[in-house]
Amino acid sequence: MRRAPRLWTLFALPGTTWLIALFAIPFYAVACVAFGTIDPIFRDAVPQWNPMSWDFTQASQTLASLTSGPLRGVAIRTVVYVFCAMVISFTIGFPIAYFLARHSGKRKLLFLALIIVPFWVNYLMRMLAWVNLLSSDGLFTRFMRLFGVNYNWLDGSPITVVLGLVYGYVPFLILPLYATLERLDWRLIDAARDLGANSRQAFRLVTMPMSKAGLVAAGILIALPMFGDYYTNDLLSRSPSTEMLGNQIDFFLNASSQPQNGALLVIVLSIFLLVLMSFYLRSTRQQARQTTR
């Protein structure tokens, strides 16, 4: 028994190694690029490995652009788009997950498979399919015209980008949410009903609080990739009026002579997401405390 603690530490080794090799070191490398210099000949990044000689001039310019320059609009737009996409995702995803967990009965597996199967198809293929469906003579556009909706979906429209994000990530919301709801103790709801709550009250006062951790987890799970997404925008819009942070990172790293800017935006975005993550961790801890109480 005395050896047990060491054994458990050993169990953490693969995970720790993974985290160091594939997160800590790369993240440090990103910082070294962000605060490094540019090769005068090849115009690519020369990372500065020694933090003592990090150069913050370019970074402060980019930060200034984020707070008061052209990148500010991009940052705000990114947050707004992701927020809208999340609201829609929840509106669509929660009822589905709820239905799956509560009412799908014997066909649960079938429904689950039906939701997952389309997502076996590569993301790009699905987006390219949408490009066809949404083009001016595409099926979807023509279908909507039947209802008098004559909209140029691929016209650099924010609606299309937000819906593209929703479409791309909503299954990743449904699955964890389903997992949480599935494990709910439904007897508690019956108890609530017995004690006089109507179904709406039972949902609000019992179901919602109990599924909060799942909601936050699922929300974070889709928010993280949405914030960094650039190819949904690239495929469905390509207009400056819908430019997101991911697009700017892509441009700076892949097609400009200022990769440090891209690296810095990666760091800024990571810090922002870290704040979101800590919110999640705090709320799950609270949840754990409540359930153990």
Partner 1 sequence: MTTSNFRPMQRRDFLRKLAITTGGITVGGSLLAACGGGSSTTSDGLSIGTPQNPIKLPVSTDPIADGLANESGTLEILNWADYMNPESIAAFETKFGVKISTSIYDTEEAAVAKLRNGTFKPDVILGMTDTGLAKLIAADILQPLNKSYIPNFGNVISGLRNPYYDLESQYTVPYFLYGNGIGYRTDVIDKSAFAQNGYEVLWDTKYKGRLAVLDSYRDTLAMAIFRNGGNDANSSDPDEIKKAGEALIEMREAVNPKVDILGYQEIPAGNRDIQFLWSGDMFTAVQYLPEGVDPGVLGFWYPETTVTKNDFMCITKAAKSPVLAHQLINFLSDTDNALLNREYVGYQPALETITVDMLLASETIPESLVDALVTPEKYEIGLAQVTLEPEVDALWLEQWTAFTAG
Closest to partner 1 by CB, 70 or 95: 70
Could you list the residues that contact partner 1 (CB under 8 A)? 26, 29-30, 32-33, 36, 38-47, 49, 65, 69-71, 73-74, 77, 124, 128, 135-137, 152, 154-156, 231, 234-235, 237-243, 247-251, 253-259, 262-263
**Least distance from partner 1 to the Cβ atom of residue 156, Å:** 6
**Least distance from partner 1 to the Cβ atom of residue 275, Å:** 23
Structure-token match 């990172």, residue found: 249
Closest to partner 1 by CB, 129 or 205: 129
With 0-12 / 13-18 / 19 or more C-beta atoms within 10 angstroms meaning exposed / middle / buried, residue 148 is: exposed
Residues 6 or more apart in contact with residue 258 via CB below 8 angstroms: 38, 58, 252
Q: If you count them, how many residues does the chain have?
A: 293
SS3 40: coil
**Pairwise CA distance, residues 39 & 47, whole Å:** 10
**Pairwise CA distance, residues 78 & 227, whole Å:** 7
Q: What is the dihedral of CA 125, 130, 136, 141, to 10 degrees?
A: 150
**Least distance from partner 1 to the Cβ atom of residue 270, Å:** 14
Distances (CA, A) of 231 to 27, 77, 78, 158, 165: 22, 16, 14, 14, 10
Closest to partner 1 by CB, 174 or 268: 268
**Least distance from partner 1 to the Cβ atom of residue 77, Å:** 7
Closest to partner 1 by CB, 135 or 284: 135
Closest to partner 1 by CB, 12 or 22: 22
**Least distance from partner 1 to the Cβ atom of residue 100, Å:** 31
